[in-house]
Structure 1
Amino acid sequence: MKFNFCSLLVFFAFLNLSAQGNRFIYEYQFKIDSTKTDSLKKEFVNLDIFPEKSYFYGQAKFASDSIANNSIIKQRKINPNEISYSTNMEDWNVSYLVEKPYPVTKTTWFTKIEETNLIIEENPILKWNILPETQKIENYNCQKATLSFGGRIWEAWFSKDLPFPDGPYKFHGLPGLIVKLQDKTKSHQFLLKGNRKLTANDHSWNYIWDLEKEAKHEFNGVKVTPTQYKKLYLSYKNDPAKDIKLDLADPHTTMTVTTEGGAKLTDKAEIIKYFEQSMAEKFKTNNNQLELNLYKK
């Protein structure tokens, strides 16, 4: 059974009932290393749905960027050429943002390769197969649907009790919000754990953008296609400290990096070596991305 896109228009009327938007909180479990059964990670992610668009992002990354950008703003006011920040690569893994306008004719994926902000616009055609199976999940009446996407086979459970044709990451287009989603290997699993209406005082991703523009004077986003992104990623994988080297090549720039172990690095050669080694280790173990076809040759 295929879902008619025209039926989506009925659900957009519900979006106007909450001008401030709704926040849906998912528990995201994922196995970062396909070769290890004990590499399962857990992170909470937000899907903020507004009348005209939605934002999907990681809670920990959002909090980290809020703190970091506020710190950079203060530091630049004192000394524009001296930057100090802490890093803990184990705190979060969802470091990207997915924006979907309504009706969804494209998705915009904001991500980063080291210091370069990337904007990837796509026109995904998600061919869902809606099945008659139903079950109750997290107190919602749900129905099953399947999909082939990103080199994986996905199983989704959506609920018409939540009249939003959206879901985590780039997934959308079902006649109700996706409550549960997992791939066939169960390497990636999303489960809706809570939701609430947003108020004018709640920060969404626009808050981060405003901070970043102030911290860096402008948002330098480079538009690329998915194919170009893949080439850039593979090139970065071969030289993960390239941008750090360019930053430290300026004789007037000093940098202090606090490592996961609490050590403070100020020597430029040590900082470069640290990033090369830590990123090489991360690439080695982080081999089971959600969209497999974007990260492998």
Structure 2
Amino acid sequence: MKLKVLFLMTFFAVINLSAQGNRFIYEYQSRRDSTRTDSLKKEFVNLDIFPGKSYFYGQAKFASDSADNVSIAQQRIATPGNYSITSTIYDWNIEYVVEKSFPEFKINWFTSLQRTDLNVEEKTEIKWNILPVTAKIENYNCQKATTKFGGRTWEAWFSKDLPFPDGPYKFHGLPGLIVKMEDHTKSHSYILKGNKKLGKKDHSWDYILSLRKEAENNVKSVKVSQEQYKKLYQSYKNDPAKDIKQKLSSPNTRMEVSFGDGRIIKDNAEIIKYYEESLGEVFKRNNNHLELSLHKK
């Protein structure tokens, strides 16, 4: 217990040297469709660590949400009740944000099921098996550790050169930052590609939150447990367009869905049909979730 307290005190002394925070950039590779060998995707993700919390999110989602919230705010002023959105269903894999609070490592997993924004509150304790195996990875002295999480077996390499007990996604609790991580099927992997100290002009996920508030687009996450999330996931899998149907049932609501090729859908019935078909196909192909245990009956 004394060692644990000393470790945490050392950690917070280090991160307080940079009040603006530290950003660690990972390359994330994932295979969302286990039936296709060509479904591997790469994406860059940020882990921003501050004195009291950290944010893990995709760079593509951050850029898209920044643009969308500015656009919605402008459209609501110009044409109240009418706004257009850009379809980005296939643009990225990281569609969520993981917020960890220190020192208890309470996790808020901000995700969504179609049009329903969720805050899955968790207190996830990850049990690590630290091994006497070392290696040089991305110029960092690393040590190997393994764990079981989300229905998968994981291999991690952490570095005490980076004294942060944090890592990508929900992973945490090692005596150093996770530099590399991969599951046993090689379907999901992370590797650290860069880092920087954040300055006053560097935006993190709190910037998105301020944009949403300014846009007044009523984005409020529904707080749920992991078990409630599992039930909701199955219900959306059975009816993926149910939120769109509900939204468009109001006679005063108009929506446009635009595509990169210039197409625009304005008719409500066509929009519903599009989401039923396209999102149904997404559920079908997205069968290799990082947390398998959360997405099975």
Q: Tell me the TM-score normalized by structure 1.
A: 0.96
Distance 2:105 2:208 in 1: 25
Distance 1:80 1:236 in 2: 29
Q: 1:217–1:86: structure 2 CA closer, same or farther, 3 Å change rule?
A: closer
AA in 2 matched with 1:100: K
Find the counterpart in structure 2 of residue 20 from structure 1.
Answer: 20
Deviations 1:68-122 (A, max 9, x none): 0100000000111111111122211101111111113311111111222211111
Q: How does 1:186-205 map to 2 (within 5 A)?
A: 186-205=186-205
Q: Tell me the TM-score normalized by structure 2.
A: 0.96
Distance 2:219 2:116 in 1: 10
Distance 1:294 1:248 in 2: 30
Compute the displacement of 1:218 (Å): 4.1
Distance 1:188 1:263 in 2: 34
Q: Is the 8 A contact 2:73 2:217 kept in 1?
A: no
Distance 1:199 1:261 in 2: 38
Find the counterpart in structure 2 of residue 93 from structure 1.
Answer: 93
Find the counterpart in structure 2 of residue 134 from structure 1.
Answer: 134
Distance 1:261 1:238 in 2: 29
Compute the displacement of 1:261 (Å): 4.2
Could you say what secondary structure the match of 2:83 adopts? strand
Q: Is the 8 A contact 1:25 1:45 kept in 2?
A: yes
Compute the displacement of 1:11 (Å): 1.9
Distance 2:223 2:55 in 1: 18
Find the counterpart in structure 2 of residue 108 from structure 1.
Answer: 108
Find the counterpart in structure 1 of residue 37 from structure 2.
Answer: 37
AA in 1 matched with 2:256: T
Find the counterpart in structure 1 of residue 166 from structure 2.
Answer: 166
Distance 2:258 2:217 in 1: 24
Deviations 1:209-237 (A, max 9, x none): 11112223544121100000010011011
Could you say what secondary structure the match of 2:164 adopts? coil
Distance 1:146 1:35 in 2: 26
Q: Is the 8 A contact 2:72 2:217 kept in 1?
A: no
Compute the displacement of 1:56 (Å): 0.3
Q: Is the 8 A contact 1:209 1:219 kept in 2?
A: no
Q: Is the 8 A contact 1:89 1:260 kept in 2?
A: no
Q: Is the 8 A contact 1:134 1:143 kept in 2?
A: yes
AA in 1 matched with 2:129: N
Deviations 1:36-66 (A, max 9, x none): 1111011110000011110000000010000
Q: Is the 8 A contact 2:61 2:95 kept in 1?
A: yes
* 1:226 equivalenced with 2:233 (yes/no): no
Question: Where does the alignment leave 5 or more consecutive residues of structure 1 unmatched?
Answer: none
Distance 1:290 1:103 in 2: 25
Find the counterpart in structure 2 of residue 248 from structure 1.
Answer: 248
Q: Is the 8 A contact 1:88 1:260 kept in 2?
A: no
Distance 2:194 2:128 in 1: 25
Compute the displacement of 1:5 (Å): 3.6
Q: Is the 8 A contact 1:20 1:200 kept in 2?
A: yes
Distance 1:207 1:106 in 2: 21
AA in 1 matched with 2:264: K
Distance 1:135 1:105 in 2: 27
AA in 2 matched with 1:77: I
Compute the displacement of 1:262 (Å): 3.2
Could you say what secondary structure the match of 1:94 adopts? coil
Q: 1:252–1:219: structure 2 CA closer, same or farther, 3 Å change rule?
A: closer
Could you say what secondary structure the match of 1:237 adopts? helix
Distance 1:295 1:216 in 2: 32
Distance 2:192 2:40 in 1: 18
Find the counterpart in structure 1 of residue 272 from structure 2.
Answer: 272
Could you say what secondary structure the match of 1:171 adopts? coil
